[in-house]
Amino acid sequence: MEFENLDGYTMYGIKEKYAKLAKDSEEKLKLVFDEIDDIALYNQAKVLKAFQNNRISEVHFKKTTGYGITDYGREKIDDTYAEIFNTQKALVRIQFVCGTHTIATVLQALLMPNDTLLTITGRPYDTILETIGIVDNPLSLKNYGVKYDEIDLTEDNDFDIPKIVDYLKNNKVKVVHIQRSRGYSLRNALTIDKIEKVIKEIKAVDKDVIVMVDNCYGEFVEKREPTDVGADILCGSLIKNPGGGLCETGGYICGREDLINLCAIRLTCPGINAEEGATLGQNKNILQGLFMAPSTVKNAIKSAILAASMMEELGFETFPNAFEKRSDIVQVIKLESPEKLEKFMQGVQASSPVDSHVVPVASEMAGYEDKIIMAAGSFVEGATIEFGADGPMRPPYVAYMQGGLTYEATKLSICFAIQKMMEN
């Protein structure tokens, strides 16, 4: 067999025009990719120093069961996360079932009857609506007497600071909620610079208000995190960025010690706090995944930028575009028709390492208002740091693409998905 003239594109069945499209895009993106490499190097140094400062050892991989009392690895994981995210304390647990659970835990821990929750990034992500009470649920915050209000972002995708300041001057707010990533909207993720500016304005009006950030999809995308610029507490999922593709479940909350203590009580119960919770042999995955996270996030961002460049060349609108600054790993592609969305998703699934033979179809899903189509051939179910895509079956039929454990595999998947969509 002749190998000299074979390349990965040919091996994988990618037609020459789509391979050329990928190669041409990479040429244009060299300087952008260099900047991503620099951010990854900085974040890798930060993580490596935290591991060394906390003297991570093989003994911290030890499995605990039952109550999980004296789980030294669990304590070291908390300390390492707290250092990386520049906070007083952290709560990293496999008992969190998803990122939404961490967000709900923070809100339920910090808000009491007659307190006010103010969201300053518009309507939150679909899955948290029942927790707040925007969508009815008998155990929502609304039904416990928590008040809720929201302020939309401006037309140019920034915080509406005059409205926020005016609201805080005329209303007593307990928690201000910021959603860093976009959810199912077309806005770009909010940069750390923007988050820093709005937090300064908020604290100038009311130094006691708690600023909470939903950090899902944003970890290690920039050199700074929201808690580096004044956020009191942030949270996210271990099967997204910080898990590095190795974590099998779990979530994290980092922030002020008094706030984390309340979150620990809410996760377990009064008296147990953060002192129990078996890790069931997951400590090694949590630690190794965290160690690998800056590099894994780098691969995901490069993949997203490549997809944006390729789709723009084909005439599709993308958010953000290939050359815009990023603050999360999500790439939005407006496809404009249900057929294109379906074919794109099927192409992503067919090019996955797991369940490539499965054909995704739109269906109802808990926590979502519309039918959702998802492509996720991942080693960990639902892990959005692994390459996948999803989207609601509603106009303008947008694909939300994210993740990528390796750049090379994700590049092939992007080419395959585009080819399948365009050829059909």
297-317 pLDDT, tens digit per residue, is 999 999 999 999 999 999 999
**CA dist., res. 338 & res. 395, Å (int):** 8
* Inter-residue contact 291 to 56 (CB < 8 Å): no
Residues 6+ positions from 35 with CB-CB distance below 8 Å: none
Kindly provide the residue ranges of all beta strands, DSSP E only, lying in 292-387, ordered along the sequence. 317-319, 331-334, 372-375
Where do the domains of the chain lie?
8-44+295-423, 55-290
User: pLDDT band for position 320 (50/70/90)?
Assistant: very high
Characterise 160 by phi-psi region: left (phi > 0), alpha (psi -120 to 50), beta (else): beta
Kindly provide the residue ranges of all beta strands, DSSP E only, lying in 151-191, ordered along the sequence. 175-179
Closest by Cα among 362, 419, 403 to 10? 419
**CA dist., res. 90 & res. 259, Å (int):** 10
Tell me what the pLDDT averaged over the chain comes to.
96
Residues 6+ positions from 77 with CB-CB distance below 8 Å: 60, 90, 92, 283, 286, 287, 290
User: pLDDT band for position 185 (50/70/90)?
Assistant: confident
Long-range contact pairs involving 122-126 (C-beta distance under 8 Å, separation at least 24): 122/150, 122/151, 122/152, 122/153, 122/185, 122/187, 123/150, 124/150, 124/177, 124/179, 124/183, 124/214, 125/100, 125/179, 125/181, 125/183, 125/184, 125/214, 126/183, 126/184, 126/367, 126/368, 126/369
pTM listed for this prediction: 0.95
* % of the chain surpassing 90 pLDDT: 93
For residue 207, the Cα-to-chain-centroid distance in whole angstroms is 28
Q: Is 225 helix (H, G, I), strand (E, B) or coil?
A: coil
pLDDT greater than 60 at residue 2: no
pLDDT greater than 90 at residue 132: yes
Q: Is 331 helix (H, G, I), strand (E, B) or coil?
A: strand
Q: Is 378 helix (H, G, I), strand (E, B) or coil?
A: coil
Closest by Cα among 125, 124, 209, 134 to 165? 209
pLDDT greater than 90 at residue 259: yes
Identify the CATH class of 55-290. alpha beta
Q: pLDDT at position 201, please?
A: 98
Characterise 401 by phi-psi region: left (phi > 0), alpha (psi -120 to 50), beta (else): beta
Q: Mean per-residue pLDDT for 163-186?
A: 95
Q: pLDDT at position 214, please?
A: 98
Fold that domain 8-44+295-423 belongs to in CATH: Aspartate Aminotransferase, domain 1 (3.90.1150)
